[in-house]
């Protein structure tokens, strides 16, 4: 899960110096932010710090990070004409700074822990591009699916191609595994996922450099997990709304899983966190192929010492 962020004072200090996109585009600064959680928390892997929308900017839809409002897209894609107007994305010239960040991080890590690359999945990126920003009901996104399915599939193909090249560029630069985040896909029914999303995620994962492990993550996906597994990935992410043992059994123990602590549990005192960690480890049953993780990202007000305590207790309790 993304582990750099506002809960870390050293991250907030960087954000006081750099605008958000500026930070993502400065390889030295982005590398520093990527590395911050490693020493501070003792986690077992570094996760590339990058925004999910870096790939959206070169599409020419007018991306802007408005203060306090998250991303705003000034020319949202609402129909076939808008899709046809999208700029082709030459990943190497569009986001060279991301690959430079990867190289910088890998150099600085010197093999201490691996670096995991990351990108958002086509549906989740499309949801921003179509809605024009964050959304609750995904009305425009679903309307495009239902009313203009060809334009929808064209849009997802464009995003899938660019995302595959983006992830393969991160791998070429030194990432040893990649995460595909389909954060908002839980808004879909299983039938809609199968028709409008699965073929594209499957194509994306198939296009990733062979041999590199892929972590496939979403939230609110209780009914989508078997379909996400079908789409691909060596590891399937589980949010906290599912029970780890039941969910793992439902998709098969021949695939690995990642999860599944509710991030809000980290607001409680460490003795309570410990009970919840014990429950997850009990459900994982010591089986190989469980990566302990949160069910979604660390929340901004989370006490840093609670996150550190979590990492320590997982190391201690899972080595038993």
Rounded least distance, CB 189 to a copy of itself, Å: 5
305 included as an active-site residue: no
Is 2 among the catalytic positions?
yes
Question: Counting contacts by CB under 8 A, is residue 282 touching a copy of itself?
Answer: no
Minimum gap (Å) between residue 6 Cβ and a copy of itself: 13
Give the β-pairing of 214-218 and 235-237.
Answer: parallel
Q: Three-state SS across 123-156?
A: HHHHHHHHHCCCCCCCHHHHHHHHHCHHHHHHHH
Question: Does position 264 bind a copy of itself by CB under 8 A?
Answer: yes
When asked if residue 243 is in the footprint of a copy of itself (CB under 8 A), the reply is yes
Q: What is the rounded CA–CA span in Å between residue 246 and residue 266?
A: 23
Q: Which is nearer to a copy of itself, 121 or 280 (CB)?
A: 280
Please tell me whether residue 133 binds a copy of itself under the rule CB under 8 A: no
Cis preceding-peptide flag for 260 (omega within 30 of 0): yes
Look up residue 59 and give its two tokens.
């599409």
C-beta of 143: minimal distance to a copy of itself in Å?
A: 5
Annotation marks residue 15 as catalytic:
yes
Cα distance between residue 95 and residue 27, in whole Å: 11
Which pair of tokens denotes residue 149?
A: 């399915």
Site for a copy of itself in 179-208 (CB under 8 A): 186-192
Task: Give the integer Cα–Cα distance in Å for 220 and 186.
Answer: 4
Sign of CA dihedral 40, 298, 72, 180: positive
For the bound state, the minimum distance from the C-beta of residue 297 to a copy of itself, rounded and expressed in Å, comes to 10
Q: Is 87 in the site for a copy of itself (CB under 8 A)?
A: no
Residues belonging to the active site: 2, 6, 15, 51, 128
**Where do contacts with a copy of itself occur on this chain (CB under 8 A)?**
137-139, 142-143, 146-147, 186-192, 220, 222-223, 240-243, 246, 262-265, 267-269, 272, 279, 299, 301
């Amino acid at each position: 899960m993304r582990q750099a962020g506002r809960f870390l004072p050293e991250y907030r200090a960087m954000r006081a110096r750099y605008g958000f996109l500026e930070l993502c585009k400065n390889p030295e600064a982005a590398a520093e932010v990527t590395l911050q959680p490693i020493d501070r928390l003792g986690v077992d892997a570094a996760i590339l710090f990058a925004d999910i929308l870096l790939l959206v900017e070169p599409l020419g839809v007018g991306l802007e990070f408005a203060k306090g409002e998250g991303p705003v897209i000034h020319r949202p894609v609402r129909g076939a004409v808008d899709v046809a107007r999208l700029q082709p994305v030459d990943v190497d010239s569009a986001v060279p700074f991301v690959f430079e960040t990867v190289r910088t991080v890998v150099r600085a890590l010197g093999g201490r822990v691996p670096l995991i690359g990351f990108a958002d999945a086509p549906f989740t990126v499309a949801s921003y591009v179509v809605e024009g920003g964050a959304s609750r009901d995904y009305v425009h996104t679903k309307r495009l699916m239902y009313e203009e399915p060809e334009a929808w599939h064209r849009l997802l193909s464009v995003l899938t191609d660019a995302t595959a090249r983006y992830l393969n560029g991160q791998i070429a630069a030194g990432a040893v595994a990649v995460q595909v985040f389909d954060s908002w896909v839980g808004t879909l029914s299983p039938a809609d996922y199968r028709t409008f999303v699965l073929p594209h995620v499957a194509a994306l994962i198939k296009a990733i450099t062979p041999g590199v492990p892929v972590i496939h993550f979403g939230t609110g996906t209780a009914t989508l997990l078997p379909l996400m597994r079908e789409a691909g990935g060596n590891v399937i992410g589980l949010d906290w709304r599912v029970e780890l043992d039941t969910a793992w059994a439902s998709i098969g123990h021949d695939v690995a899983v990642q999860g599944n602590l509710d991030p809000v549990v980290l607001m409680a005192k460490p003795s309570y966190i410990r009970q919840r960690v014990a429950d997850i480890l009990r459900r994982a049953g010591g089986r190989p192929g469980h990566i302990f993780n949160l069910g979604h990202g660390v929340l901004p007000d989370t006490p840093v010492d609670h996150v550190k305590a979590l990492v320590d207790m997982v190391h201690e309790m899972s080595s038993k």
